[in-house]
Structure 1
Amino acid sequence: MITITKNEFKRLAEYIENNYGIRLKEEKKSLVINRLYHELVNSNCKNFTEYYEYILSDKSGKAITTLINKITTNHTFFMREADHFQYFRDKVLPYLSTTVKDKDLRIWSAGCSSGQEPYTLAMIIDDYFKNDKIQWDTKILATDISSKVLNEAINGVYNKDEIESLPSLWRLNYFQKLDNGSYMIIDEIKQEVIYRKFNLMEKTFPFRKKLHVIFCRNVMIYFDHKTKIELVKKFYDIMEYGGYLFIGHTESIPRNETGFKYVMPSVYRKV
């Protein structure tokens, strides 16, 4: 059985944190071994030192892509932290629908995982605007560092239990049942979400226009304080005044370290 030494873990953990912001604590050693064991075997690496050197030497980028796919935790589900979606429907959309004069809504689901969050936002928007939606550009940008979950999101296929928490009318209008008993998001909603692979640790964000809403929930729990504050400041810089930032319920933003104003637990606004 392959094990990982203290020095090997430290070196790999520092590489992941420096490049992707994800902080792996000492107690994650066994998780790292379990998730990467087969990668070491498949790469003919006898230990984690060889595996680390293999990652650095692989110019194709496939090795680091696989590492990130294996090491990231992508736990999500429809209607997770449902009060956020209710607030988005009841407060944010009415505000934006009267203040965004060019009818170009710019919404980012950062750390979108397997697509439940951006698809929920797309369904809320469709349900809110109804026949007027044709006048609006409501496409949602959804990003993640894991290509594995992005592929799952693009496919947009979920089992019956996964969509059970959604309103029955949504299940009827926005999903089609497949022969294997699973359910797929209809094309009209799929086309409302643009998926891209993106690392939140990039120094600059490539947006031509500023955003109205950012959902970045349960992502910063993996970051240290400095990394989190730097990211929040980048969110602030790329957001329109009056825009909203949604973070996870277990997360918070120190009020004296960014320009965001507290609205309610895990909801902030640029004012």
Structure 2
Amino acid sequence: MGKLLGSSKADAEREFSYSRSEFDAVRRMLYQLTGIRLADSKDSMVYSRLARRIRALRLNSFQEYLSHLQTHNAETEQFINALTTNLTSFFREPHHFDILGRYLQTHKHVKTIWCAASSTGEEPYSIAMVVAETFGRYDVPVQIIASDIDSQVLQKAKAGIYTADRISGLDATRCKQFFYRGKGGKDGLVKVVPELQKMVQFRQLNLLDKKWDLPAPIDIVFCRNVMIYFDKSTQLGILERMVQLMSADGLYVAGHSENFAYATHLVKPAGQTTYTPNLVRGAHGRV
């Protein structure tokens, strides 16, 4: 067995033994399945999240869990769900939604928006709010597709139920228009109104899948704070596939910590962490 991770005190407090070789095995497996590279600093996160799975399966060690993963395909989804990080909020990085509103006003042809990492739904519902506000109605000619690799967060997103503190940063008009407040036993909860829910189609999608079940062209892609988890070659491969799906004057929205200065053959800057396709295209806008 490889060297144990952490201090001797931490090791003594841990329920299961946990070695560097086991951490590395987890990292390799996650990379093979999702393209996500875990940093050395994520060893404690891996332990805490997978320890829950070990307990749930009534196993005795990380080694047993790794063996279980190899022989039980159904556990793969639980493994991915446990290790993918889902940090989100309504109107996170608010300037992007101002840009979205202006883009919708000047590009009347927009038909499809793809939110490529929907997490628990705050981002795609924020997109839907802006679309509804721009058109002045819920019945809009724009399809919003929200995807994520994590099946559990997708279920939460589809339900559209959140603790009231999640919308504390929204203005009163949006809170009143787009959310119902729970009463009685549901006090302290809010629910997205059905009209807004109907504007968003949630689906499970792994960005490493060979085929994406998505319509083309896609006019706007929100893929924020996702690429940072991939190595550069994987980033380029995913970005190229996304751009190939986009309309020639489409809008790509990246996260605040993402920069594609190394991918000028694919995209060109269009504003604060936003880009437009820069691929050579034929007469019909296709690559």
Give the TM-score taking structure 1 as reference length.
0.91
The residue type paired with residue 30 of structure 1 is S
Question: Residue 128 of structure 2: SS of its match in structure 1?
Answer: helix
Residue of structure 2 aligned with 1:117, choices 85, 107, 123: 123
Structure 1 residue 44 displacement after superposition: 3.2
Instruction: Give the equivalent residue in structure 2 for 1:169.
Output: 173
Residue of structure 1 aligned with 2:52, choices 33, 38, 49: 38
CA distance in 2, matches of 1:176, 1:259: 42
Instruction: Give the equivalent residue in structure 1 for 2:267.
Output: 260
Residue of structure 2 aligned with 1:93, choices 104, 115, 139: 104
CA distance in 2, matches of 1:203, 1:153: 25
The residue type paired with residue 130 of structure 2 is I
Instruction: Give the equivalent residue in structure 2 for 1:84.
Output: 96
The residue type paired with residue 121 of structure 1 is I
Instruction: Give the equivalent residue in structure 1 for 2:112.
Output: 106
CA distance in 2, matches of 1:42, 1:166: 38
Aligned residue pairs total: 261
CA distance in 2, matches of 1:148, 1:249: 26
Question: Residue 195 of structure 1: SS of its match in structure 2?
Answer: strand
Q: Which runs of 5 or more structure 1 residues have no equivalent in the other structure?
A: none
Structure 1 residue 256 displacement after superposition: 4.2
Q: Which runs of 5 or more structure 2 residues have no equivalent in the other structure?
A: 1-14, 279-287
Instruction: Give the equivalent residue in structure 2 for 1:15.
Output: 29
CA deviations over 1:96-122 (Å, ceiling 9, x no partner): 21xx2xxx6100001111111110111
Structure 1 ranges of 4+ moved more than 3 A: 255-258
Instruction: Give the equivalent residue in structure 1 for 2:198.
Output: 191
Moved more, 15-24 or 240-249: 15-24
- Report matched runs for 1:110-149 at 5 Å: 110-131=116-137, 134=139, 136-149=140-153
Question: Residue 244 of structure 1: SS of its match in structure 2?
Answer: strand
Q: Is the 8 A contact 2:27 2:38 kept in 1?
A: yes
Question: Residue 184 of structure 1: SS of its match in structure 2?
Answer: strand
CA distance in 1, matches of 2:205, 2:132: 26
- Report matched runs for 1:22-33 at 5 Å: 22-33=36-47
CA distance in 2, matches of 1:202, 1:182: 36
Query: CA RMSD for the aligned pairs?
Result: 1.6
Q: Is the 8 A contact 2:236 2:263 kept in 1?
A: no
Give the TM-score taking structure 2 as reference length.
0.86
CA deviations over 1:16-50 (Å, ceiling 9, x no partner): 01210111122211111111112112223332222
